[in-house]
């Protein structure tokens, strides 16, 4: 079995996000993604997250919701089962096919659409927009802002945005330079560094599966709270609330994941 060193250089190309060529189709390859993440994304976890979403967003009555980067519909279909009118958008056709099959199996109706969140063109159609499981931040600052502007346009007045992402400060403080997932003798290795000039976490991912190696580097923009507030403001949204986890605890120096709620002002 290959040996993995948990070390990282202090400078040089490992810390330069401009050296990372992000291939969206390869990084989110459906077969590899589900193979390595299936043990993490259990039904129990999804049900708990949906219950938290309902509480946080106060979804007592059916509303119209856009789930961006919906993946294979694990949140989308459950919310549809609660009576909400769901639209799911994802870039990867393979995920959408799984989502449609699951919706049919559970007898729910969801409008699944293949699309790029940077290019959606809805206008005041949704009561809420969701970006879940670190679905935001994979593009340039300009493109990330465009995503937020698109969301703002898609929301009705007083509509709300819910998204979650790693807490930048805590993740930098506690960052491990290497993480390894092993399954059936196959490996997913994440070598992680941070470009302080761009605010991007760099993940030089290597997958070794059935004797075949794939190099799948990607980067994700990590924001602090002030940057999130400014980003939302530039997009015409207001920061409404930030929690330090799905159980709605306050943000603290130990917070690893932020649950963020933005609101579009009313007319």
pLDDT on residue 169: 87
Q: Do residues 214 and 206 touch, judged by C-beta distance below 8 A?
A: yes
pLDDT on residue 231: 98
Could you tell me which of 228, 116, 117 has the C-alpha nearest to residue 166? 228
Q: What is the mean pLDDT of residues 220-237?
A: 96
Q: Residue 53 and residue 74: Cα distance in Å, rounded?
A: 13
User: pLDDT category, 10, cuts 50, 70, 90?
Assistant: very low
Could you tell me which of 143, 140, 79 has the C-alpha nearest to residue 116? 143
- Beta strand 212-221 with 238-243 is unpaired
Q: Do residues 132 and 102 touch, judged by C-beta distance below 8 A?
A: no
- Beta strand 178-183 with 186-195 is antiparallel
How many angstroms separate the most distant Cα atoms in the chain?
A: 61
Phi/psi at 149 (5° precision): -65, -40
Could you tell me which of 248, 232, 238, 223 has the C-alpha nearest to residue 57? 248
Phi/psi at 116 (5° precision): -105, 125
Q: Residue 70 and residue 135: Cα distance in Å, rounded?
A: 9
pLDDT on residue 214: 96
All residues at 6 or more sequence positions from 131 whose CB lies less than 8 Å from its CB, including other chains: 68, 69, 117, 151, 161, 162, 163, 164
Going along the chain from its start, the domains and CATH numbers come out as: 13-25+169-221 (no CATH), 36-167+224-263 (3.40.50.150)
pLDDT on residue 245: 92
pLDDT on residue 126: 99
Q: 87-144, pLDDT tens digit by residue?
A: 999 999 999 999 999 999 999 999 999 999 999 999 999 999 999 999 999 999 999 9
Joined together, the tokens standing for residue 186 give: 């196959």
Q: Residue 245 and residue 23: Cα distance in Å, rounded?
A: 30
Q: What is the mean pLDDT of the chain?
A: 92
Total-model pTM: 0.91
Q: Residue 192 and residue 178: Cα distance in Å, rounded?
A: 6
């Amino acid at each position: 079995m290959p040996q993995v060193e948990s070390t990282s250089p202090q400078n040089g190309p490992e810390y330069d996000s401009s050296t990372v060529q992000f291939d969206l189709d390869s990084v989110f390859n459906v077969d590899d993604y589900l193979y390595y993440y299936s043990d993490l994304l259990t039904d129990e976890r999804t049900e708990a997250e949906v219950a938290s979403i309902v509480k946080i967003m106060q979804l007592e009555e059916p509303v119209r919701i856009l789930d961006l980067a919906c993946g294979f519909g694990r949140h989308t279909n459950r919310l549809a089962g609660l009576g909400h009118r769901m639209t799911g958008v994802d870039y990867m056709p393979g995920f959408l096919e799984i989502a449609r099959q699951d919706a049919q199996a559970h007898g729910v109706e969801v409008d699944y659409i293949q699309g790029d969140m940077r290019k959606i063109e809805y206008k005041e159609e949704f009561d809420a927009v969701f970006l879940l499981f670190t679905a935001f931040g994979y593009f340039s600052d300009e493109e990330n802002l465009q995503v937020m502007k698109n969301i703002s346009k898609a929301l009705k007045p007083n509509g709300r945005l819910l998204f979650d992402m790693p807490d930048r400060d805590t993740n930098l403080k506690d960052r491990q330079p290497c993480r390894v997932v092993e399954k059936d003798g196959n490996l997913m290795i994440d070598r992680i560094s941070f470009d302080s000039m761009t605010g991007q976490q760099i993940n030089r991912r290597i997958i070794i599966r059935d004797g075949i190696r794939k190099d799948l580097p990607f980067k994700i923009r990590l924001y602090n709270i002030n940057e999130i507030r400014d980003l939302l403001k530039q997009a015409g949204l207001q920061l409404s609330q930030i929690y330090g986890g799905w159980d709605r605890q306050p943000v603290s120096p130990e917070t690893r994941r932020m649950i963020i709620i933005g609101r579009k002002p009313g007319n």
